[in-house]
Structure 1
Amino acid sequence: MTSATDPLPLPAVPRLIATDLDGTLLRDDKSVSDRTIAALAAAEEAGIEVFFVTGRPARWMDVVSAHVHGHGLAICANGAAVVDLHAGGKVLEVRALERSVALDVVRTLRDAAPGTSFAVELTTGIHYEPDYPPFHLDPGATVAAAEKLLDEARPDAGAPVIKLLAHHPQLTPDGFLTLARTAAGELASFTRSSPTALLEVSGLGVSKASTLALCCAQRGISSDEVVAFGDMPNDVEMLTWAGTSYAMGNAHPDVIAAASGRTVANNEDGVAVVIEQILKNV
């Protein structure tokens, strides 16, 4: 594995940079540093596209919406949605989790891990169960049992489910992820990005990597022409897929193992450090 201070692996000049947000591009206070803003702008000016690839829903993209340049696109909800940030976060493509599958996951995890509570992320917003940690950023959420929230007879049943979230108050984060993948991994894709035992569930085969691959194919960009950055398990597939990838200095051990390189922590502008090195070769 190389570090940010070693010579860059090929390609020296990529066509696309794909970066996670929380714990990666963003500092812990959720800000984008001046150094990082300048690096992103310089990359775009050099003809390198920058894609934000995050677990966040479209409505939480205000932290970086001002820093998207030409294309305006971002990949949200761990690959379940492609959005246009130039159009206020308009959802352009959805890779939905079928409600019937989400219900099967709910039933399976209730049996495998009693005490699990759920939230349902729709393209129109999030709703959650009474025992689920409340979303203070979403005061208009409906609070009800997951079975009711996923009922196809509900008025919002036409809104696609882009993510199911599962929280457990006692299990360890990695232990809960392993348990869920063992119990229901044939039904859906499971990952996590929170320091707590909070799992993110997408449609089978949906990930940051698979949606990024689709976006790159539309542009004639190969994986070898992509440099990716991440810090948590929901980034592992993307870092493995990209020809060159960097784990942040603050990254989860699984991310460090998956990446081809390592940079400094998010609070030290680790993404900007690498972009600056890339641009020296332009």
Structure 2
Amino acid sequence: MSVFETAIQATNSVLASRFPGYSFAFASGSIIRGEGTKGSDIDVVVVFDRLETAWRETFIEGDFPFEVFVQDPETLSWFFESDIARGYPVIIHMVATGHVLGPNRDKGQVWKDHAASVLRAGPLELVGEKLDALKYQITDLLDDLHGDRVGPEIRAIAAQLYQPLADLMLLGRGAWSGRGEWIPRLLRETDQELANRFDDAFRQVSRGNVEVLCNQTHAELDRHGGPFFAGDKRMASQQARRTSFVDLG
């Protein structure tokens, strides 16, 4: 059997033994797509008709690590909504690209088609408070990079900058963002030249040169009105209070 066939067989075994009564499921991840490497896991979204609460669990079955997200239609809708709000379509992508399994594959296919349409529609426009918060975070880190820093500090700041800068570059161009190894993939899909510049900028930091990264960061901020620091104000929730730990009499 191929790796794909073996992975699907293992997934069906897991579904039968660990999740009796489920309605449908989606097997996803690099192994299912035929892109797996050593250590790659199988992502599975398992959908029941009704649950008390959704959960996630990880385990190893046979030769495969599994990461399983257990949902019902209402909790799955909540996670879709959360993915859309954040601009990281984690669960949405699993469903859209997953291999549909289970006794109610027709229902699973409806969800798969819906997820694919959400991906095609793209993320919410990056505007308002979300844009300002992202620009503020990037501006603050950029100011730190401009300071007189030793190598370990520069690399630490650059590591913090990697995610928000990628978010600005992707979401700011109407493309979905992601985390970890998804960032270079998504940048390549959006603009190969942009991805190359991004990669080179962080490569230069590892060699002690921050100028390339600073210039690229300034260029991205300028696409959205420039750096943002003065004027930032974010109100805390009204629930953000507790009985005082200190008795002042």
Greater share of strand residues, 1 or 2? 1
Q: TM-score, normalised by structure 1?
A: 0.28
Higher helix share: 2
Larger radius of gyration: 2
Instruction: Between the two structures, name the one with larger relative contact order (CA 8 Å, sep ≥ 6).
Output: 1
